[in-house]
Amino acid sequence: MQRSDNLASKFKGYLLATHFGPTLLVVTIAFLLSLTQISLLGSIQIAIAILAGQCVIGWSNDFIDFPLDLQAKREKKPLVAGALKKVDLKRAIFIALFFALVLSLISPLGIKGSLVHALGLLSATFYNLRLKKTSLSVFPYIISFGAMPWAVYLSIGRHPSIWLTLGFVLFASAFHFLNVLKDLNLDISQGILGLPQRVGRTKSIFFSLALLISGLLVVILKWQALT
């Protein structure tokens, strides 16, 4: 019974460390986007590859930020709570990276789509390592989310429309400004000075709303053009 409880606790810890909400959102978007161009089975394969990639991003974020999370007493973080050990999470990151690349290659993404997927993972990981603390913090969001439609479309020998890529970039950038608001003051006190932290709460809210509205306008204008 004790072993079963430990396994359940570890599983929950790994799940939470993926940053489950954003991960579910990204995987769902990837699946729905793929479904517009590729078969159901192919879309599921792509979604699983993207899921593995999101595990890499979420787990590396928690691994890198562990000292800061410990200092801030973020008890909901699995490493801080003791649900996971650093050595286990580190091993899981490399296993997830292996599966993300292999599953991507054997999925309909193929070589071209997988290279773009790898670029997105590299960009997001670089955010975790360094860029989240600089004024360039929004650029990994632009690169990683802008890459998603390119990965899918290149796999079928096409290029995504400009409006589609632009929509992904605008919504992702808005999410970046919104996502940091809850911990803005704490981040600043810990030296995490990304673009939202540098411009402050009021301007971050303004930028996020402006980006969201711009993204919606892009989608609405395209929808009207199609009808």
Higher pLDDT, 210 or 225: 210
For residues 88-114, average pLDDT: 97
Asked if 133 contacts 191 with a C-beta cutoff of 8 angstroms, the reply is yes
Task: Provide the pLDDT for residue 2.
Answer: 52
Between CA 61 and CA 17 the distance in angstroms is: 8
Is the predicted pLDDT of residue 225 greater than 90, yes or no? no
For residues 91-97, average pLDDT: 97
* Nearby residues of 78 by Cβ (< 8 Å), 6 or more positions away: 12, 13, 14, 16, 17, 62, 84, 89
For residues 88-103, average pLDDT: 97
User: pLDDT digits over 120-156, tens only?
Assistant: 999 999 999 999 999 999 999 999 999 999 999 999 9
CATH code assigned to 2-160 = 1.10.357.140
Is the predicted pLDDT of residue 227 greater than 80, yes or no? no
Asked if 96 contacts 56 with a C-beta cutoff of 8 angstroms, the reply is yes
DSSP string, the chain: -HHHHHHHHHHHHHHHHT-HHHHHHHHHHHHHHHHTTS-HHHHHHHHHHHHHHHHHHHHHHHHHTHHHHHHTT-TTSHHHHTSS-HHHHHHHHHHHHHHHHHHHHHSTTHHHHHHHHHHHHHHHHHHHHTGGGSTTTTHHHHHHHHHHHHHHHHTTT----HHHHHHHHHHHHHHHHHHTGGGHHHHHHTT---HHHHH-HHHHHHHHHHHHHHHHHHHHHHHHHH-
For residues 92-113, average pLDDT: 97
Task: Provide the pLDDT for residue 5.
Answer: 56
Is the predicted pLDDT of residue 170 greater than 90, yes or no? yes
Higher pLDDT, 4 or 34: 34
What percent of the chain shows pLDDT beyond 70? 97
* Nearby residues of 218 by Cβ (< 8 Å), 6 or more positions away: 163, 166, 167, 170
